[in-house]
Each structure stands twice: as structure tokens, then as C-alpha cells.
Amino acid sequence: MNKDIATPVRTRAILEKYGFSFKKSLGQNFLIDTNILNRIVDHANLTDESGVIEVGPGIGALTEQIARRSKKVVAFEIDQRLLPILEETLAPYGNTTIIHSDVLKADVASMMATEFAGFTDVMVVANLPYYVTTPIIMKLLEEKLPIRGIVVMLQKEVAERIAAKPGTKDYGSLSIAVQYYTEAETVMIVPKTVFVPQPNVDSAVIRLTVRTTPKVAVKSEAFFFQITKASFAQRRKTILNNLISQLPEGKEKKEEILAALSKVHIEPTRRGETLSIEEFAVLSDALLPHFQ
């Protein structure tokens, strides 16, 4: 068995050997607790037939644990300085591939067609850089990739917003967007003390299980998301006032908006955070003819 990368001593030795300094702009925080890494991988329920996509492998601490428990790992790393380090730390694992690329600009679907041809089980498992957590998750979901799910570590407050239920302060358009595509659950909280450098906030691991069909059926996905975003634009405003101020020609179409709300039995005085995803679905379908 190879020595774990994720011990404080080994991490320090690797960083010193390569003279690596952390870039704040890339949100680099490396995990130095093997136990927590193993628990993250546990939540992905991998088998020796699984393929895994990782984003931001750092020096390979999580990559190594995934590689031991899956058939193949493909990791996207944006920081060129980490490539020689990964080449060394992951040398014992022939089932790892590093792609030097920004995952937000990458064609993940065609990478999957090549790297995971014949795989029936692919998961995303990552310790995501904090500053791009949401765009990465939304890209992976919006592109409707053939993945079983996503298990990622991110800021605790973002995890709370993703898994939030209607009527809570954390519930918003992000909760709806992610829950439209997946079943979302926070599976563990991770203290900031297990990272170098230490971030300012605690983290959480969230597991998103991709739904076979979206949670609700809507006539236009784009319009549905436009309505949910508009409804949360100013949280203290009523749903009516948000829709009037946020939708194109909303002021001119106040009567149509009121009629649509009445048709689906949603009080215009309610606030966005009180509406369930099902209510947003019927509302967006009722509004669609007036805004096409």
C-alpha cells in the first residue's frame, strides 16, 4: 500500500519539494485528513466498475483515494504548477488521467464519450474550489451528462442553500435549480481545521443524485429558471412585485401576471421562498404564453 498523500507531514514535504505556494485566486485548500477523504469517497458508493470525474485534484489527495476504489479517474486541473506534482504523487495509480483544463470551458460530454466509453456508472467526486462551486455544479447538471450523481465538498453555507426546503431562509433559485435535476442532501460537515491553508469557513459534503426525469415537468426549462430567478431577485418583495420588476415588459403586463397567479391559485402577496418547486412549475407554464 502506498503512503497516503493526505497526511500533514507528506503534504508539507510535497509542497516544499516543489516550492509550491497557494494561489488565493484559485481557491486552493488542500485536505490533510485521510479519514475525511475516505468518508467523502464512501458517500459516492463506488465499485470497481465505476468511472469518476474529479475537478481540482490539487496534489492528488482525494484522487488517490478514489483511484483505489474505482476503475478510472479523470481529473481536470487548471493550475499548470500542479501537473508535475500530480505526475509524481499519482504515479502508483495507472487508472488516473489528468486533463490540464478549466472544467468550465471543457467539453465534458466528449471527454466522457472517449474516456468512459462502455462505462455504465460515472460519478463526479471533488473538493471544489470555493469561488466557482455553483457554476461548476450547474454546468454539470445543465449539460445533462450521463452521470449517476455528484459528491462534492463546498462551503457549508452553499451546501445549505442547495439542500434547502421551501419556507427557509436558505431556500432560493439555487435550491430549485439543483433540486430540479437532482435529489440533494448534505451528508457531512467538515471543520476548517483539516485543510491547508485553513479556510475562513467550515465546509460540507453534499450528495446530488441525478433524477431520471426532472422533479417537475415544464413547457420551457429556460423560462422556468427565469421565473424562479426573478421571484428571488429581492427577497423582501412579494412574488408579484418581483415578477413585475424583473420580467421583460413586466410593468406593462401586470394584469397578465395577476391573471396567471390567480389561475394557479398563488396569492400575489406571497414571497418567493414560500413557493414549492411544483408551484413554480405551474406558475411558469401559466405565464409562458404572455412572455413568448
Three-class SS of residue 288? helix
Instruction: Tell me the CA end-to-end span of the chain in Å, nearest whole number.
Output: 61
The annotation status of 56 as a binding-site residue, yes or no, is yes
The annotation status of 77 as a binding-site residue, yes or no, is yes
The annotation status of 149 as a binding-site residue, yes or no, is no
Beta-bridged to residue 232, according to DSSP, are none
The annotation status of 127 as a binding-site residue, yes or no, is yes
Inter-CA distances, 100 with 73, 80, 97, 209, Å: 14, 7, 10, 27
Write b or e for each residue in 205-218: b if 16 or more Cβ atoms lie within 10 A of its Cβ, otherwise e: bbbbebeeebebeb
Q: Are 146 and 113 in contact (CB under 8 A)?
A: no
Q: Which residue has the cell 490540464?
A: 100
The annotation status of 60 as a binding-site residue, yes or no, is no
The annotation status of 273 as a binding-site residue, yes or no, is no
Report which of 183, 285, 161 is spatially closest to residue 226, judged by C-alpha positions: 285
Q: How far is CA 112 from the centre of its chain?
A: 18
Residue numbers belonging to the annotated binding site: 29, 31, 56, 77, 102, 127
Residue numbers belonging to the annotated binding site for S-adenosyl-L-methionine: 29, 31, 56, 77, 102, 127
